[in-house]
A and B are shown apart, each in its own frame.
Chain A
Amino acid sequence: MRLAVVGAGAVGRSVVDLASEYGHEVVAVADSSSAVVADRTGGRGTGVDSDAVVARKAERGIVGDGDPEDALAADYDVLVEATPTTLGDAEPGFSHVRTALERDRHAVLANKGPVAERFGDLRSLVNDSDGDIRFEATVGGAIPAVSTVEDIEPGHVTAVRGVLNGTANFILTRMAAEGLDYEHVLAEAQDLGVAEADPSFDVDGTDAALKCVILANVLSFGAADDPVDAREFTLDDADVEGIRDVPGSTLRLATEDGRTVRLIGEATGETVRVAPRLVPENGTLAVSGTQNIVQIETTHAGRLNISGRGAGGPETASAVLGDVGRLE
C-alpha cells in the first residue's frame, strides 16, 4: 500500500520508519508546516526517503520543502492521520480524513479526536466512499482492542474496561509503592518523560475518556442493525474523574487492605465512565507503571484480558500498520 503520513510526531515518524518492514511504501509525509511528496516520475517503488525525512524533522523541524496540502493531494492508497488529538470539531484531523474518503481512499487514524468527537460524521463519509477507516492505534497503543472487539462482534460484547492511560497508571503505581504524594510523583514522571509538562490531558482522565468514547462508539454502531439507530458518543457523554487530587493516604489505606487504586475506564453501548477505582492489589487490572490493560466482557466467550504498551512511537505505529494491512 502507498501511504501518506500526516503528522510527524513520535507516531508519524515511526510509521514512516517502519512502513517498508511491513511491505508498504510512504509516498508523502506532512507535518503542520511542510511536506515531502515522492517524485512520481520514478513510478512505483520510489517512495520518500524515510531516513532523510526523519533526519530533516530532527534537525530542521520540517519534513520537506513542500506544502502540507501537497501530501493530502498525493497519490496514496491510505492516509495515515497522526496529527495531535484535538477536541470539539476535531480539526484539522477530521478534514484530512474527509479529503481521503472523498477521494475514495482509506484512512487510518492514530488521532483520537475525529473518532471520539465526530464518529457519526465519519461513518456518513465512509458510507459515501469506496474508502474505509480504521483506528486501532487510538485505543491502548499496541493493544489490539478495537479489532478484538470487532472479531468477537460488538453485539456480543457487553463492556470494555481497563487501564488506558500509562501516565496516570505510572503515578498511581509509584504513589502506592513509595508512599509519596501526587505532586512528588508527578515531578518524577515529568523528569522521566512519562508525564508532559502540562499533564492535564492524562491525569484529569480526558485521554482515557476519549479512548472509552471510541470503544463505546464501536460497541454502539457495531451492535446496531441500522447505523441510523446507533447512539453516537462524544466526550460530553463521558462521566470523567481524574487522579489529580488523590492523596497518598488514600493509596495507603487501599494497600493496607490488599487493594490498590487504578484509573479505570469503562465503556458499554450505553455509558462511558472514567474514575479512580479500588481494585485488588494483585488483580488482573492492577497493571504496573506505564502498562495498559483492556478487559473485554463478552456474552459467550467470558472475559478477555489484553495487556501491553499503551503508548510509544513504534508501539502505536505497529497498530497503525496492522490497520493498513487489514485494508489491503
Chain B
Amino acid sequence: MSDARDGVPEEAVDDEDATPDGGHASTTPSTHTVRLELVDEPGQLLAALHPIADNGGNLLSIYHERGNKTPRGRIPVEVDFEATQERFEGIVEALRSEGVNVMQAGTERYAEEVTILLFGHLIDTDLSDTLSQIEACESASVADVSLAAPQGTEEASSARLRLEARAGETEAALAAVRELAAEKDLRLVEPLTGVEA
C-alpha cells in the first residue's frame, strides 16, 4: 500500500514546470510518506511526530501498526504528511537527529539487502552492542539475525545478519561493519556484491 504513495515526491518535482531554470522545485507542498520504527514505550509516537509538525509538515494520517513488530521487536508506524520537498528533507533529518529510526522516507527506502556473516567471540564481545552499533550507522538497518554458538559462549560463534541498506549505500554500510568487526576482533565474511547476478 505504501508503494503507491512512494512515487509522490518525485512526481511532484516533475510537475514543477514553473522552474525553467532547472532549480529545485520546492514551493508546492506534496504528500510524503515516512515509515518509522518505534520502541514500544509510552510517548514514543508523540516524540516522533513533533519533528514533523515543528518543521512545517502538515500531518495527514498516521498508521500505527501495533499488532505488527519489526524484526527487532519494534513497532512500525507509517506517517503521511504534506510538505515542500525542501521541508521534507529537513523533517527526515530532524527525525534522524532525534534518534527516530526512519526505515523509509518518500521514495528513499532501504532498497538494498545484503547478507553478511560474522564469526569470533560474538557473545563475549556483546552481540547486542554489536547489533546496536550497526543500527546506529546511518546507511543500514539490521533486518534479521541468526546466531550459531555450538560450543557455548566461550568458543567462537557465528552470526548471519541480513542488513537493509539505503539505495547506493551498501558499500558504506559494509565499511561501517568492517570497522566495527576490526574493533571487536571479529571476523567478517562479506558477500561478493554486484557479482551474484
Contact = CB atoms under 8 A, between A and B. Distances in A.
Measured as residues with beta carbon below 8 angstroms from the partner, the interface class of chain A is 20 to 34
B25 interface: no
B196 A250 contact: no
B187 A257 contact: no
B67 interface: no
**Which 8 A-B residue pairings sit nearest by Cβ, starting from the closest?**
A249-B148, A250-B158, A249-B158, A253-B160, A278-B191, A250-B119, A247-B156, A277-B192
B59 interface: no
B126 to A, nearest CB: 19
Interface string B164-197: 0000000000000000000000010111100110
A246 interface: yes
Interface string A251-287: 0111011010100100000000001111110010100
A256 B158 contact: no
Given A256-B160, A278-B115, A249 B150 contact: yes
A85 B158 CA distance: 35
23 contacts: A161-B195, A241-B187, A245-B120, A249-B119, A249-B149, A253-B117, A253-B146, A253-B158, A253-B160, A257-B115, A259-B191, A261-B189, A264-B192, A275-B189, A276-B189, A277-B189, A277-B191, A277-B192, A278-B115, A278-B117, A278-B190, A279-B191, A279-B196
Contacts of A249: 119, 148-150, 156-158
A280 B193 CA distance: 11
A278 B158 contact: no
B192 A253 contact: no
B13 interface: no
Interface in A173-232: none
A252 B148 contact: yes
A245 B158 CA distance: 11
Contact of A275 (B148, B159, B160, B190): B190
A285 B195 contact: yes
Given A245-B187, A278-B189, A285-B195, A254 B157 contact: no
Contacts of A295: 195
A250 B117 contact: yes
Nearest to B156: A247
B116 interface: yes
A277 B190 contact: yes
A277 B191 CA distance: 5
Nearest to A254: B117
A245 to B, nearest CB: 6
Contact of B146 (A241, A256, A285): A256
A297 B54 CA distance: 51
Interface residues of B, number: 22
Interface in A26-61: none
A264 B192 CA distance: 9
A247 B119 contact: yes
Nearest to B187: A245
Contact of B116 (A247, A252, A275, A278): A278
Contacts of B189: 246, 250, 254, 261, 275-278
A89 B119 CA distance: 36
Contacts of B116: 278
Interface in B100-150: 115-117, 119-120, 146, 148-150
Contacts of A277: 189-192
Contacts of B149: 249
- Kindly name the residue among A253, A254, A277, A279 whose own CB sees the greatest number of chain B CB atoms within 10 A: A253
Contacts of B120: 245
A283 B195 CA distance: 10
B42 to A, nearest CB: 37
A275 B182 CA distance: 14
Given A250-B158, A278-B115, 8 more contacts: A249-B148, A250-B117, A250-B119, A253-B146, A275-B189, A276-B189, A278-B116, A280-B196
Contacts of B159: 253
A264 B194 CA distance: 14
Contact of B158 (A161, A247, A275, A279): A247
Nearest to B150: A249
A246 B118 CA distance: 10
A100 B116 CA distance: 49
A259 B146 CA distance: 14
A281 B164 CA distance: 21
Contacts of B196: 279-280, 283
Contacts of A285: 192, 195
